[in-house]
Chains A and B, each alone.
Chain A
Amino acid sequence: ETGVTQSPTHLIKTRGQQVTLRCSSQSGHNTVSWYQQALGQGPQFIFQYYREEENGRGNFPPRFSGLQFPNYSSELNVNALELDDSALYLCASSYRTGGSFFRTQYFGPGTRLLVL
């Protein structure tokens, strides 16, 4: 059983650029959630994807967008990067059968984004 993987591990961008981060979910999982963790803070929920649709979104502007693919992997896209977007971006996968039952989320190692 493979765990959650993320790519790239580190990334440096300049303000105004666009970035795409990738996440492969754990085998058998169908749900992916993305979190942003600024230095010294707890992770903040960005959004969740279930069955290729956005299912829940945190307090992030529309320039944060995502996709989930048929194999349940996911992308996080951020347009018009700002300095405050510098953070560790974490992806977590889990398995849902529908309804509101909440299962354990398994986290990947994260992508460290630095915006200059």
Chain B
Amino acid sequence: KQEVTQIPAALSVPEGENLVLNCSFTDSAIYNLQWFRQDPGKGLTSLLLIQSSQREQTSGRLNASLDKSSGRSTLYIAASQPGDSATYLCAAPIPNDYKLSFGAGTTVTVRA
């Protein structure tokens, strides 16, 4: 059974600061690792998907790294903006288990 943990649970930074969000998973035999954004009361928006064979993935100001051997992924958000305020979730599916196993998320507040 895959267990996913996200630390910290909440983060507050001033605008312009870089954000570092952490995700840990117990079963390293993952298919991929996906980062999502969730605005309050809304659904999930996929941000980045890292295949198990990749070490990182980038999209604009977002960069996600993956270290399967240590069971960790990190999401970096450069030059944060108030619009980045949201909850960020990671999910790490494993073979023969079609569900996404989510962490509880990190709630980010970027202060103007």
Interface residues of A (CB under 8 A from B): 4, 6, 33, 35, 40-45, 48, 55-56, 58, 88, 90, 92, 100, 102, 104-110, 112
Contact = CB atoms under 8 A, between A and B. Distances in A.
Given A102-B31, A107-B43, A112-B41, A42 B89 contact: yes
Contacts of A105: 100
Contact of B43 (A100, A102, A104, A109): A109
Contact of B102 (A4, A42, A55, A110): A42
Given A102-B31, A102-B32, A104-B49, A43 B44 contact: yes
B102 A43 contact: yes
Interface of B: 4, 31-32, 34, 36, 41-46, 49, 89, 93, 95-105
Contacts of A92: 44, 100
A105 to B, nearest CB: 6
B43 A42 contact: no
Contacts of B4: 42
Contact of A48 (B46, B99, B104): B99
- SS class, residues of chain B in contact with chain A: loop
Given A42-B4, A42-B104, A90 B44 contact: yes
Contacts of B34: 104
11 contacts: A33-B100, A41-B104, A42-B102, A42-B103, A43-B102, A56-B98, A90-B44, A92-B44, A102-B32, A107-B36, A108-B43
A48 B43 contact: no
B98 A90 contact: no
A37 to B, nearest CB: 8
A24 B95 CA distance: 26
Given A102-B31, A102-B93, A45 B100 contact: yes
Contacts of A108: 43
A102 to B, nearest CB: 4
B98 A33 contact: yes
Contacts of A33: 98-100
